[in-house]
Structure 1
Amino acid sequence: MAIFEWIFLTGFGVLAGVSLTNIIQSRQQQSRLEQAFYQLLEVENGNVSLIQLAAAARVNAELAKSYLDTQVKFFGAVPEVDDDGDEFYRFPKLRRWSEPEEWQ
């Protein structure tokens, strides 16, 4: 009977470890996507393509597309095509508000 308990506990431990690893990896990918997205918005003057986002965040294209689709809907981005035929999204311009002197 003890062997079955050991096998069960070992299997449960492995399953819990794999699940925890997946959760951590997912959070890291989400963080990289967010960081890359906002950096691209600033550097590319509001224009972001799927391949730029996937490369900058170092995630697969499917995950980058899902994230980008969400941002497109949320911010109301406009799809456009450049001279080479590549699709990108034009997001509303970033506006930096100057801080009142009392905040500095």
Structure 2
Amino acid sequence: NQPVPLQEQQRLQGLPEYQLATAMAATTFTSLPDMFNHFERGYELYLSLLDEPSFSQQPFAATSWIYRYAIEAALRAEDVQQAKTWLAQMEKLGDSNLETQTAKALLAKY
């Protein structure tokens, strides 16, 4: 049972369905209270998803929210350097984007 190639996947909210599902899982896992012990799993999903070359090729309008939630997770994990790396990527892709501005405000506290 081979996965469907990215270019053949249905696009939902501007993203291939695999990337959207991964982002939703990462966001859900990193938003759960600590007692559920899923934060690390979610953060690992962000690290792998945002590192995929095909992710950076998606429209920033569709990925900006994922970057912001990933930055929130990085800060919760006390991985400030990773948060700054993702913010730099956001600034390069869309400095005036609302999600970029929100992420900047989050990082201004660090």
TM-score, shorter chain, exceeding 0.5: no
Q: TM-score range by the shorter chain?
A: 0.3 to 0.5
TM-score of the two chains, using structure 2 as the length reference: 0.32
Indicate the structure with greater strand content: 1
Indicate the structure with greater helix content: 2
TM-score of the two chains, using structure 1 as the length reference: 0.33
Q: Larger relative CO (CA 8 A, sep 6+): 1 or 2? A: 1
Larger radius of gyration: 1
